[in-house]
Amino acid sequence: MEARRVLIVDDDPDIVVYLTSFLEDNGYETRAAADGADALAAVAEFRPDAVLTDVLLPGRSGLDLLVTLRHDRRTADLPVVVMTGMDQILQDDGHSYLTNHADIRGPDAVIGKPIDPRDLLEVLERVCSPSPVPAS
Amino acid sequence: MTERYRQYFEDMPCYLSVHDPSFRIIDGNQRFRRDFGERVGDFCYRVYKGRDEVCDNCPVAATFATGESHASEQTLINLRGEQMPVMVHTTPVRNDGGEVVAVMEMHTDIRVAKRLQDQLQRSQEKLSQLFEEVPCYISVQGPDRVILHANRKFRETFGPALGEHCYRVYKHRDEQCLYCPSQQAFKDGSVQRHEEVVTSAWGEKINVLCTTAPIRNAAGETEAVIEMSTDITEIRKLQSQLTSIGLLVGSISHGIKGLLTGLDGGIYMVNSGFEKNRPERVAQGWEMVQRNVERIRSMVLDILYYAKDRELEVADIDAGKLAAEITESFQKRATDQSVELSLALDGDVGLVPGDAKAVRAMLVNLIENSLDACRADGHKAAHRVRFAVRRSAPWMVFEVEDNGIGMDQETREKVFSLFFSSKGISGTGLGLFISNKIADKHGGGIEVESEPGQGSRFVVRLPLEARPSTHPEPLPASDAVATH
């Protein structure tokens, strides 16, 4: 079976190294992006099965990235997992930050930092679509 | 006097006595005899007051003189030596020729009325004292917003306000406030309650909780409004500090979660490196552990510095030597990150007065930020951090320049705000806030130039002559800016 592809979006190189190594050790193919613009380019090119994004990124936030992906019909169904240490987002899945975007589907999952590796694998297993994202 | 009138005279429930022109009592009724004795023939001033001469303002004398009735309030002393407040009325007794030959005096016992009057007066005094001494600002305002009464605390804080408009006194305004609770109370008779910021006579801003209520006349019409304002400045300050502490806790919590993730990552890399027998992965993981432990150390120092607003210990600092030491201490980290860290000293820059520990912490913070900005930037082949020191009277100028990730305008504008962090994972939002505070306490400042993707340049200026801060007061907690 072909390896599932996960796009990791985080501006902290340590987190990127950690998640890349951990997910590759567990059979995923990964790509990393340090900010929202990089992430959008990588989505088009790498065509991930899921995006795993931090919230606080340079420039546009991880939630802005979510909104952009949801508004584009080509990526609207792409599973997005948000990882954060922000209590408010952990409590309401980011809804309080997405009040101006009631029309879009929120994140497919929110996981807290520090990341529980088993949770992360379970969540990715659950959200990864069996079919790849349609070509752009 | 006929017998029937005599009987009326005798039975009257007051003291009746008749006086001749020499002030001798020539008749008295039963009650007079009971309480003052069989004193007919004696002088009235002796009988009633135990005096040896005619009283001042004697109503009997006045009636003899004018032929008219007189009334006054007197205090008599009865047989038992008791003092009796009475109301005295006199009336002339005329002969057939109309000549005043005697004066009849009627004393009505007003002890009960007097007692009530005294009680009323005492109540009024108490009320007045309460009004005066209540520890809040009380004023009574007329329909035109003119202050009719004000208590002591009000007068002490806002000046002798009587006759002035409330908006002038409270807010130093020339026209009525947009929302006037006093006006509302006049309009609908309701009790109004709201919060205001007012200004004392000496310009101090005071947060008050203001309650206004109508004062109605007998017909139920509102003729004035009483306004009571409680000083809640301290409460607001505490709230602001609590908010600040809440932000700090949230910020620290967020920062720690990020650092723990980094540590988890390092541990994972070390463990999996051993399992897979990949020494380079072990080494990479160990560096991650070390880096994140160092970040925790730095965060704790920031928190401690924030928590303890200590006084500067100013001494002459050898700026070049300090810069060289700091640069040296960062060389390994810079090399590990493949960042070229350089120091440029403009000749012998000499000494600058300052607190060595604080200045060091400030410069370390700036260089750490620059190294972080380089690490976060994945778009350039080579990164560099340039630390420069130059003497440019009246300043000692330190510059930390990097070609890292850079900042957009919003980040630039907030970069020195408390709890603002653009670093997501590792920032508490304390570092640059504290650095700026240190520069300010020395009478200097920090400026920042930055472009996204290009890099940042922080310029610190410290005065060559020790000078006080331009903001001697601690920055209020309400200036805190929360971004997460």
Task: With CB atoms and an 8 Å threshold, state whether B272 touches A19.
Answer: no
Residue B471 has pLDDT above 50, yes or no: no
- Over residues B393-414, the mean pLDDT reads 85
In chain B, which residues have their Cβ closer than 8 Å to the Cβ of A115? 261, 264
Residue B414 has what pLDDT?
66
Residue B77 has what pLDDT?
93
A2–B contact, CB cutoff 8 A? no
Which of residues 13 through 72 in chain A touch B, CB cutoff 8 A?
13-15, 17-19, 21-22, 25, 34, 38, 54-59
Q: How confident is the model at residue B426 (pLDDT cuts 50, 70, 90)?
A: very low
| Residue pair B92/B69 in contact by the 8 Å Cβ criterion | yes
Task: With CB atoms and an 8 Å threshold, state whether A21 touches B269.
Answer: yes
Spatial CB neighbours of B460, under 8 Å, sequence gap ≥ 6: B362, B363, B366, B397, B398, B399, B400, B435, B439, B444, B445, B446
Q: What is the percent of chain B where pLDDT is above 70?
A: 91
- Over residues B291-320, the mean pLDDT reads 80
Residue B87 has what pLDDT?
93
Distance between CA atoms of residues B47 and B49, nearest Å:
6
User: pLDDT higher for B339 or B429?
Assistant: B339
In chain B, which residues have their Cβ closer than 8 Å to the Cβ of A10? 424-425
A134–B contact, CB cutoff 8 A? no
Task: Please write the tens of the pLDDT for every residue from A82-116.
Answer: 998 877 777 777 777 776 777 788 899 999 989 99
Residue B313 has what pLDDT?
82
Least Cα distance to B367 among B411, B322, B412, B410 occurs for: B322
User: pLDDT higher for B478 or B118?
Assistant: B118
A85–B contact, CB cutoff 8 A? yes
Find the Cα–Cα–Cα–Cα dihedral B329, B330, B336, B342, rounded to 10°: -120
Residue B285 has pLDDT above 60, yes or no: yes
In chain A, which residues have their Cβ closer than 8 Å to the Cβ of B422? 56, 58
Residue B156 has pLDDT above 70, yes or no: yes
Residue B170 has what pLDDT?
87
Q: How far is A87 from chain B (nearest CA, A)?
A: 8
- Over residues B10-37, the mean pLDDT reads 94
Task: With CB atoms and an 8 Å threshold, state whether A18 touches B288.
Answer: yes
List the single residue in B269, B284, B426 with the smallest CB-CB distance to A12.
B426
CA torsion through residues B165, B167, B170, B173, sign: negative
Q: Which of B247, B249, B260, B261 should one mutate to test binding to chain A, selecting the residue with the greatest count of A CBs within 10 A?
A: B261
Task: Please write the tens of the pLDDT for every residue from B206-240.
Answer: 889 999 999 999 998 999 999 999 999 888 888 77
Least Cα distance to A63 among A45, A44, A88 occurs for: A88
Task: Please write the tens of the pLDDT for every residue from B232-272.
Answer: 988 888 877 777 777 777 778 878 888 899 999 999 999 99
Spatial CB neighbours of A124, under 8 Å, sequence gap ≥ 6: A4, A6, A23, A28, A50, A52, A81
List the single residue in B257, B425, B452 with the smallest CB-CB distance to A59.
B452
- Over residues B387-399, the mean pLDDT reads 93
pTM of this structure: 0.52
